[in-house]
């Protein structure tokens, strides 16, 4: 299992008990950006339903941000 360190996390809550989380993590010495979605269970704990991660590449982040805004 790879070792990882969470550097920063931003969360957006929506709907009844759902959230989208964007985080920056270091995985085995390389930085990645992760976008995850999930919900809070009745006990208030986070449960993740899916997500994706990609390298912390400025061009890739710009591509994603520009296209999200234009869709």
Tens digit of pLDDT for each residue in 34-45?
A: 999 999 999 999
Give the integer Cα–Cα distance in Å for 52 and 46.
17
Note whether 65 and 40 are within 8 A (CB). no
CB-count burial class (<10 Å; 0-12, 13-18, 19+) for 45: exposed
Edge-to-edge strand list for the sheet holding 30-40: 4-14, 18-27, 30-40, 46-55
Place of tokens 């449960």: 47
Segments making up each domain of the chain, as ranges: 4-70
Give the predicted TM-score (pTM) of the model. 0.84
pLDDT digits (tens, 9 = 90+) for 17-36: 999 999 999 998 999 999 99
CATH topology of domain 4-70: Nuclear Transport Factor 2; Chain: A, (3.10.450)
8 pLDDT more than 90:
yes
């Amino acid at each position: 299992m790879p070792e990882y360190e969470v550097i920063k996390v931003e969360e957006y809550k929506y709907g009844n008990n759902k959230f989208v989380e964007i985080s920056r993590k270091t995985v085995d010495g390389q930085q990645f950006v992760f976008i995850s979605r999930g919900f809070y269970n009745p006990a208030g704990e986070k449960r993740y339903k899916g997500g994706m991660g990609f390298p912390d590449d400025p061009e890739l982040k710009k591509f994603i941000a520009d296209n999200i805004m234009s869709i």
